[in-house]
Structure formats: structure tokens, C-alpha cells
Structure 1
Amino acid sequence: MAYADQQTSGNRIVAIILVGLIHVVVGYIFISGLAIEAVKKVAERVTTIDIEEPPPPEPEDEPPPPEQQQQQAPPPPVAPPPPISVAVNPPPIQTRPTIPPPAPPALVVPPPAPPAPPSQARGATTRDERRWAARIQENYPSRALREEIQGTVGVRVSVTPDGRVGTCQVTASSGSSILDEAACAGMQRYARFNPALDDAGNPTSGSYNTRITYRLN
């Protein structure tokens, strides 16, 4: 019994759906038909109106040219007034003074430079040579006296600005180192000099060469 009721309710639903679809289709056809008829009625009411442009106006007749007036007689000739001569002052003459050319610049010759003073430079010279030479001889090395050694020693000494011996160098040996050493020692101890001078006459360093002879009496 339940199975029969379910089948009956299913058939009803299908029938309802079909009926709804039929109504939709009929409504669509009805609406479409009404729209078409409305469009046709509107189209019948619209009428075509042709607008004709008015023809252009015809050109009016030009007025006839005015008649040429009769030529009038020319007026009598009138003599022109005589010309009036007006004396015009001549333009003033402008004179420009002649400007002499500028004088050449004077040559300024500088005065000649004063002559340079004579040079006062000189080398070192001995002072009281005999006295200090005798003292060197008096200090004859004792060993050289015992061995009776004698000879001559050449020396070169540097002279300071105060006239004393700075350094001593043997330039010619006597053959004995005793005499060579004694000669330099005596020069540094006893020798005195007039110092060397530069160009301006100021004392400066110099040098001096000499020979010392050791001889037994």
C-alpha cells in the first residue's frame, strides 16, 4: 500500500512540473506576439515626410548705368606764383686742431752699478814663525836623540779663523815615525798663524804647508 502511495505522489510532481513548463512556454509566446504587434502598429503610424528646399531666388535686373554727364568746360588756367628765393645760411665750417703725435717715451738709463770693491781674500800666513819653529826644534824626541835619528818632515795643517792649527797631516815622511809624530804634535802645540780672509776681509778657515827639519848638532 505504501509503495502505491509513493508512486502516485511521484506522478503528481512530474505532472505539476510539466504543467508549469507549458505555462512558461505559452506566456513567452503570448508576450512575444504582443511585442511584435506593438512594433507593427508604431511603424504604421510613422509617416515619411519629404522636405523640399525652396528654389533659389532669381537674380534681379541690374539697374541701367547712369547716363554720362555732359563734359563741362575746363577752368581757366591760373598762373603759379613766382618762386620766392630764401637765402640759406651756409653750414658752419668746423676745424679740428692738428694734434701732434705723442712723443716717444724717454729712455731711462739706469746708472752704472758701482764697481765691486777689491777682494780682500788671502791665505793663512805664519806669525812669529822663528820663535815657534825654534821651540819645535828644542822638543827633539828623546828616543830619536838616543838613536841619533834625524830627517825632514813635510806637513799640511788646517788653520782655524783664530789662527791656530786644527788638524795636521804628514805629506812627506822623514822615514821615522818618531819624527813624523813629533812634527805634527809640535805644530799643533806651538805654531801660530794669521788666519785666512774671505773676499770681504773676514777671517775664515785656511791651510798651510811647511817642512820641519830635525838635525843633530
Structure 2
Amino acid sequence: MAYADRNTSGSRVVSIVIVSIIVALFAWGFVNGLTFKYIKKVTEKLNTFDVVEPPPPPPDKPPPPPPEQPQLQTPPVVSPPPIVRVTAPPPPVVSVAVPPPALVITPRAAAPAPVPVAAPPAPRVSQAAGLKGNPAEYFDADSYPSDALAAEASGRVIATLTVGTDGRVTDCVIVTSSGNASLDRTTCAISKRRIRFSPAKDESGNPITSTYRLPVRWTLPQ
């Protein structure tokens, strides 16, 4: 048993030494192999590395052309027109015709104007015209003109009546107006239509034409 243990221990030591040597060799080879491989790989990488140059920058754009300046056209030099000397024509000779002497016309003496024949003198009134009846009856309320009533017009009228040889009124002239034309017209109209006179007479007793002054007062009816 003791021999067997000694053999087993010796074999174990040898095995350990061999294994250690093998591990050391393996480690050395591994390290050296890796280093060589690494160096070779780095060298290959360095040999096959291509440097790519960057693309050239794009060419600069040409600057825009300057704006066209308007060309100022120099106006053509125009020479002034030549001075034309105009000779004024001589003034025309105006002949003035001398008028013939004026004819002096001597008017004939006018014939003497006829001497007016004096009218025979009016016959002297021996008897004045006499009013027949009461004039107040002719200028009553029924005779008041409607437009004067509407205007509430009133007043006094004085009329000069011409009385013919037959005693009728042939003419009427308003001497004093009432201020209302309708009252004035109605006074003359009633005088000619209604009033009658005894005609005036001359010294021989013959009827003659005469005048009569008639006052009329128009008062609004109550």
C-alpha cells in the first residue's frame, strides 16, 4: 500500500508538471499567436484603407448682372431757323372821297292850322234834373253784392251820373270809391238800370242833358 501511494503521488506530480508546462506553452502560444494575428490584421487594415477625398465644393454662382441703366438720349441739337428779314410793304394810299356839299332844303311854309270852331255854348239850365222816387229803395239789402258780403265790405260811394233828355242815366263815373270794386260797380249798374230823373230844361223849357251827383252808403245788412 505504501508503494502504491508513492507511485500514485509521483505520477500525480509528473502529471501536474506536464500539465503546467502544457498550459504555459499553450498560454505562450496563445499570447504570441494573438499578438501576431492582431498585428497582421492591423497591418492589413492599414494597407487596404482608402482615403476618400471630399467632393469639391459647388462652384460659386455668378453674381447677377447689374440692372440696365436707362440710356439718356441726348436731344439732337437743332439749329435755330434763319432770321428772315421781312420788308414791310409801304402803307396803302387811302384816297378820301370828298363828300358833295349837303343839299340845303328849305321847307315850305306850313299851311295855317284851321281855326277851331268854337262849340256853341251849352244851354243855360233853367231847371235841374229831378230825381224820381227814393234812391234808398234801389240800394237795399237784396242789391248787396255777394262777394262784398263775403268780404264784409262796406263804405260810401259818390258817383257822377249823366242824365239824358229822356231822364235815364247814360253814364256813371265814380268820384269817391268805397274801397271795394264790387260795391262801386254795383252802384253804377243800379243807377243805370233803376234810377229815373225828370230831365233838366233850358230857358226855353226844352229838356237838356245834365249831370247829377249821387251819394250812396253801403251798410252790411244785420
**TM, length-normalised to structure 1:** 0.43
For the pair shown, the structure with the greater C-alpha radius of gyration is: 2
